[in-house]
Amino acid sequence: MATSTVATGEVTYLEAISQALDEEMSRDERVFLMGEDIGIYGGAFRITEGFLAKYGEWRVLDTPLSESGFVGAAIGAAMMGLRPVVEMQFADFISCAFDQITEVAAKNHYRWGAAVPLVIRAPFGGGIHGGPFHSECPEGWFFHSPGLKLVAPSNPYDAKGLLKAAIRDPNPVIYFEHKFLYRRIKATLPQDDFIVPIGKAEVKRPGAGLSIITYGAMVHLALEAAQLLEKDGLDLEVVDLRTLIPLDKETIYGSVRKTGKVIVLHEDNKTGGIGAEIAALLAEECFDCLDGPVVRIAAPDTPVPFSTPLEEFFLPKTGDIVEAARKLAAY
Amino acid sequence: MDLADVTRDIKRDDLLQMYYYLRLTRSLEDRISALYRQGRIVGGCYTSHGMEAIAVGYASALERDDFIAPFHRDMGAFLIRGFSPGEIIAQYLGKRTGPTKGKDGNVHMGDLKRGVIGFVSHLADNMPVAAGAALAFKMRGESRVVFAGTGDGGTSRGDFHEAMNLAAVRKLPVVFFCNNNQYAYSTPMRLQMAIADVVERAQAYGMPGEIVDGNDVAAVYLAAKRAIAYARAGKGPTFLEFKTMRMHGHSEHDPAKYVPQDLLDSWRKKDPILKTEQLLTQLKYGDEGYFRDIEARAKKEVEAGLEFAEHSPLPEGPEVLEGVFADQADSY
């Protein structure tokens, strides 16, 4: 396998995902993969390149074009003791499997005690000119479905560690991997086995002036904005949620109690998004330490558009954060 | 059924056991319907009245290690897999001693240890799940089989078709069945599909299909045995269409006035318990006295179950918060 040879050097976000899958499949024979074009072709993004030759067609299953069918099948296999990892070719297609995820996977343990140790990989997000059906951020749909865990790594370390943690978790986990980051972000990873625990946010940049709560590709925009504002004397704290469910409320509250001002940033549409929930939580739990309104920066309430100027307008930009942070700091 | 086939292929004790489970199912569901009419059961109340032979027949044909993903009119299968009348009535009453501890109602029961995948109201949702369980068995080289079904209406859903296709492509050890009781709630077959027999769907997926008299427990049992043997031999899935008639409303609240009376009258003569008694009489396996004894025994067991369920505690409100997430996975 190509990716395992780069374990000692820098790896991309994409290679980190590939390494996590490879290592977990080697470690635990119950782990297997299902999805469209993941075997013979190696995956639309080549994440499982070489896996078919290494693990065979019964652990790397090319499925019919049938998201509901193969997610349902993965649920059945998971209940029987296996550890399936299914790939949505694009997160957008997860809508075809919505019913299996929200009604079967999410509720089985609650209803009748059957654990569903399932991972669904969902390549999400825009900035790649994918248009309305290859760029979505569907995490909001599942954020509202009790029984699911949701993670969204922003860097190769978290990508690898969260995927391993997801595979070892006894619950259904949707793993939102950001396509824009696949080949743009690199890091040197530890050689030893590690996980990133589900449910723990990380303060990526400590600061005292203002908190930015975000996840996924937006973490990098927040860090860029923080760097730009540093010379203005504005000290931004950037919190990378990493896990969306269960939400690390303590880290969020801790940051906001320190800074008193907060911007919630996400690439998903604004209305009813995760930012809305965080804003509501802050109003309930941190009202007395807020020194300004909770500000949301998110995509407008439209489908993700295709044409470059439209998509550029649609996606939150570093400039939006800089502008909002200055305004909020002056409040 | 040809009597010679029955005597050759079904053991006397197995057939008598099936008769007992038919009676137990009828007694249990009659009691549950009565409790519903008395207002002692809240929520939905779906019965298999007049269709008991399907679940009793197929569940009797399976081995202990096999799995079922039942239809919601398969009470007999729950009984055969080891759910007691007491547990089942407790489930209907929302008691903590029911298999879902009050989290879900009626036949929405499941238990991995007893080989039952919990029912989901969204019909056909469990068909891909059943295919996946069969996939796990095949991947591990086990000779276990999954038996999974839905109704005539359920075969219109995408999950039915996705499951049939997936299972056929990978030759998974699963048997799919349709309880064709001619009505999906109020919708008759002619508005559900443009084919005369649901079994025609099997051909499109490259799997064998068979029409079976769903009111004949011996026929159901033998068809299930054949399909199970085929799956166990690694040859892949089979689709069985069990033809029957829904004799009650969709749920007990539904008077089902949309079903023609003469249709019900003609099917009443084909009642599966009546048919089984006729068969047992012809085979000289049982007589009227024996039938009444079994009926009395079934009723007694149901009354004992009701006693247990009524004396069971209800869950406490805060228990609603328990069990959203699993701490560890079951090991299968």
**Which of A78, A81, A110 comes nearest B323 by C-beta?**
A110
SS (H, E, C) A139-158: HHHHHCCCCCEEECCCCHHH
Q: Which residues of B touch A117 (CB under 8 A)?
A: 326, 329
Whether B104 and A69 lie within 8 Å, measured CB to CB: no
pLDDT digits (tens, 9 = 90+) for B37-76: 999 998 889 999 999 999 999 999 999 999 999 999 999 9
CA distances in angstroms from B39 to A224, B44, B45, B252, listed in the order given: 64, 12, 11, 11
pLDDT band at A6 (very low <50, low <70, confident <90, very high): very low
Q: In the predicted model, what is the mean pLDDT of residues A200-205? A: 98
DSSP state of B116: B
The per-residue pLDDT for B43 is 86
Whether B327 and A69 lie within 8 Å, measured CB to CB: no
Helix (H) and strand (E) counts for chain A? 12, 14
Whether B162 and A114 lie within 8 Å, measured CB to CB: no
B162 contacts A72 by C-beta, under 8 angstroms: yes
Size of interface A-B (CB pairs under 8 A): 155
CA distances in angstroms from A250 to A215, A257, A321, B204, B275, listed in the order given: 16, 10, 24, 55, 66
Whether B125 and A77 lie within 8 Å, measured CB to CB: no
Averaged pLDDT score across all residues of chain B: 97
Closest by alpha carbon to A101, among A153, A2, A174? A174
Nearest chain B CA: its distance from A23 CA (Å): 20
Whether B163 and A72 lie within 8 Å, measured CB to CB: yes
Whether A103 and B163 lie within 8 Å, measured CB to CB: no
pLDDT(A13) > 80? yes
Q: Tell whether B134 is within 8 A of chain A (Cβ).
A: yes
**Which of B103, B111, B126 comes nearest A110 by C-beta?**
B103
Active-site residue (options: A129, A134, A220, A266):
A134
State the sign of the Cα–Cα–Cα–Cα dihedral A247, A249, A252, A255: negative
pLDDT(B94) > 60? yes
CA–CA dist B148, B69 (Å, integer): 4
Q: In the predicted model, what is the mean pLDDT of residues B27-43? A: 94
pLDDT band at B328 (very low <50, low <70, confident <90, very high): confident
pLDDT digits (tens, 9 = 90+) for A25-58: 999 999 999 999 999 999 999 999 999 999 999 9
The per-residue pLDDT for A3 is 44
Q: Tell whether B259 is within 8 A of chain A (Cβ).
A: no
**Which of A66, A75, A116 comes nearest B166 by C-beta?**
A66
Whether B129 and A114 lie within 8 Å, measured CB to CB: no
CA distances in angstroms from A284 to A144, A238, A257, A278, B233, listed in the order given: 19, 21, 13, 10, 61
Cis before B315? omega within 30: no
Strands (E), A219-258: 236-240, 243-245
The per-residue pLDDT for A8 is 59
Q: How big is the CA angle at A313 (ends A309 and A317), to the nearest 5 degrees?
A: 120
Closest by alpha carbon to A159, among A201, A188, A118, A196? A196
DSSP states along A251-297: HHHHHHHHHS-EEEEEEEESTTSHHHHHHHHHHHHSGGG-SS--EEE
pLDDT digits (tens, 9 = 90+) for A242-267: 999 999 999 999 999 999 999 999 99
Chain A residue with Cα closest to B105: A111
CA–CA dist B21, B90 (Å, integer): 19
pLDDT band at B120 (very low <50, low <70, confident <90, very high): very high
pLDDT band at A5 (very low <50, low <70, confident <90, very high): very low
Active site residue A178: no
pLDDT band at B331 (very low <50, low <70, confident <90, very high): low
Nearest chain B CA: its distance from A111 CA (Å): 5
The pair of structure tokens assigned to B109 is 């029961």
The per-residue pLDDT for B286 is 97
The per-residue pLDDT for A163 is 98
Chain A residue with Cα closest to B163: A69
Nearest chain B CA: its distance from A100 CA (Å): 7
pLDDT digits (tens, 9 = 90+) for B202-257: 999 999 999 999 999 999 999 999 999 999 999 999 999 999 999 999 998 999 99
Q: Tell whether B131 is within 8 A of chain A (Cβ).
A: yes
pLDDT digits (tens, 9 = 90+) for A172-195: 999 999 999 999 999 999 999 999
Q: How many other C-beta atoms are found inside a 10 Å radius of the C-beta of residue A6?
A: 16
**Bridge partners, residue A87, by sequence:** A35, A121
A68 contacts B159 by C-beta, under 8 angstroms: yes
pLDDT(B6) > 80? yes
pLDDT digits (tens, 9 = 90+) for A114-149: 999 999 999 999 999 999 999 999 999 999 999 999
pLDDT(B332) > 80? no
CA–CA dist B84, B89 (Å, integer): 9
DSSP state of B119: P
The pair of structure tokens assigned to A60 is 């790397």
Averaged pLDDT score across all residues of chain A: 96
The pair of structure tokens assigned to A154 is 């922003």
B309 contacts B34 by C-beta, under 8 angstroms: no
Q: What is the ipTM of this complex?
A: 0.97
User: Three-state DSSP class for A183?
Assistant: coil
pLDDT(A4) > 60? no
pLDDT(B311) > 90? yes
Residue A271 is which amino acid?
T
The per-residue pLDDT for A261 is 98
